A and B are shown apart, each in its own frame.
Chain A
Amino acid sequence: MSDVSATTISTTQEARVSDYFALLKPKVMSLVVFSGFAGLWVAPQAGDLHPVLAITAMICLAVNAGAAGAINMWFDRDIDAVMKRTKNRPLPKGIVDPDEALSFGIVLSVLSVMTMGVALNWTAAALLAFANVFYVVVYTIWLKRLTPQNIVIGGAAGAFPPMIGWAAVTGDITAASIALFAIIFFWTPPHFWALALFANEDYKRAKVPMLPVTHGEKHTKLQMLVYSILMVPVSVSPYFLGVSGIGYLASAALLSLFFVYTAVRVFLEAEGNYKSAKLMFGYSVFYLFAIFLALMIDKV
């Protein structure tokens, strides 16, 4: 009898479909799909790609990003359990079994890469596989707990989507698609460090060596400012590489200069005060959407 009731308890806590969906980090997925679609949209001869194949490429990109997120949650379940921001995720709450989360992530990773290869081309599939392995192995398993430069190198994984979208159409890697990669690469450190500034206690508790934890606020703010300034020439480079027109050039310049302004405000803000850091974090999310939207509108 006791065995039966024990089984009943464990199985009534069976994960729901929505819990598996939460493993895919839907918010991150939306940014990945959007920037990936922008890369696909601005690629040469994008109009020749059959709409079903374009949708398939986006599904592969979304599923692969989600799968990498699930494996990340599997590996980081100890950290997630002690951080306020992540303690309600399905793994730390004990709703999804860790082995199931890992299997779920691996199966979806393999399926999405193979489908991308069969439906589009193997350059896009190889980039997709590389981004996945980079996020899981280089960022999550290797760098995240080792160095405060974790998100600088690891952030490269999140910069691949526009390059993958571009490669899905053209089957190659060009200076222009590398420029799209570079925009997200330089955007990532100030974006994450803005979050790390006001979520500092969370990272300290989890013993994650984020820059504000290891080098202090002043040093972090200086690095955020440097990356923000570097992002200005990078963000306008698609114009000089012939990907976009003057409309994009003006939008990117304005958006990036305001980004630098928010970084200056953060730099000048007194320690322990995070109003400007929160503003910068919010603006950085808007910035990425806006800059890729400008790129797409310019192509129309």
Chain B
Amino acid sequence: MPIEVLHKLKKKKNLAVLALIFGWVALIWIVTIIKIKNGG
């Protein structure tokens, strides 16, 4: 089975995982900015 087919089958799940990772990084970044602005 070519790996591309497996990728197609798992596309939705992989995109969700990628979105979660980006979302988490964005959240930590926003939180850090807020804490710096609040002096802590």
Interface residues of A in 86-144 (CB under 8 A from B): 111, 115, 118-119
Using A8-B1, A111-B24 as known contacts, say yes or no to A53 and B31 having CB atoms under 8 A apart. Answer: yes
The answer, among A17, A56, A119, for a CB contact under 8 Å with B12, is A17
What is the bound-complex CA distance between A111 and B17, given in angstroms? 14
Smallest Cβ-Cβ distance to B6: which chain A residue: A11
Query: What are 5 A-B pairs at a CB distance below 8 A?
Result: A14-B9, A52-B34, A115-B28, A115-B31, A119-B35
How many chain A residues touch the partner (CB < 8 A)? 19
Q: Provide the main secondary structure of the chain B interface.
A: helix
What is the bound-complex CA distance between A115 and B13, given in angstroms? 23
Using A52-B30, A52-B34 as known contacts, say yes or no to A15 and B13 having CB atoms under 8 A apart. Answer: yes
Q: Within 8 Å CB of A11, what residues of B?
A: 5-6, 9-10
Interface membership of A27, Cβ < 8 A: no
Interface residues of A in 4-29 (CB under 8 A from B): 4, 7-8, 11-12, 14-17, 20
Q: CB within 8 Å of A: which residues of B? A: 1, 5-6, 9-10, 12-13, 16, 24, 27-28, 30-32, 34-35, 38
Q: Within 8 Å CB of A111, what residues of B?
A: 24
Using A8-B1, A11-B6, A111-B24 as known contacts, say yes or no to A52 and B12 having CB atoms under 8 A apart. Answer: no
Contact A52 B31 (CB under 8 A): yes
What is the bound-complex CA distance between A4 and B13, given in angstroms? 22
What is the bound-complex CA distance between A59 and B20, given in angstroms? 12
Q: Within 8 Å CB of A118, what residues of B?
A: 28, 31-32
Q: Within 8 Å CB of B32, what residues of A?
A: 118
Least Cβ–Cβ distance between B37 and chain A, in angstroms: 9
The answer, among B10, B24, B28, B38, for a CB contact under 8 Å with A14, is B10
The answer, among B16, B24, B28, for a CB contact under 8 Å with A17, is B16
Q: Within 8 Å CB of B30, what residues of A?
A: 52
What is the bound-complex CA distance between A4 and B28, given in angstroms? 43
Instruction: Give 3 closest A-B pairs by Cβ, nearest first.
Output: A119-B31, A17-B16, A11-B9
The answer, among B6, B13, B27, for a CB contact under 8 Å with A16, is B13
Using A14-B9, A16-B12, A17-B13 as known contacts, say yes or no to A53 and B34 having CB atoms under 8 A apart. Answer: yes
What is the bound-complex CA distance between A50 and B10, given in angstroms? 38
Least Cβ–Cβ distance between B35 and chain A, in angstroms: 8
What is the bound-complex CA distance between A59 and B30, given in angstroms? 14
What is the bound-complex CA distance between A134 and B13, given in angstroms? 30
What is the bound-complex CA distance between A293 and B7, given in angstroms? 46
Least Cβ–Cβ distance between B13 and chain A, in angstroms: 6
Q: Within 8 Å CB of A17, what residues of B?
A: 12-13, 16
Contact A115 B24 (CB under 8 A): yes
What is the bound-complex CA distance between A56 and B30, given in angstroms? 10
What is the bound-complex CA distance between A166 and B38, given in angstroms? 20
What is the bound-complex CA distance between A118 and B9, given in angstroms? 36
Contact A12 B16 (CB under 8 A): no
Given contacts A50-B34, A115-B27, A115-B31, 9 further A-B contacts (CB under 8 A): A7-B1, A14-B10, A15-B13, A17-B12, A17-B13, A52-B30, A52-B34, A119-B27, A119-B28
What is the bound-complex CA distance between A52 and B35, given in angstroms? 11
Smallest Cβ-Cβ distance to B24: which chain A residue: A111
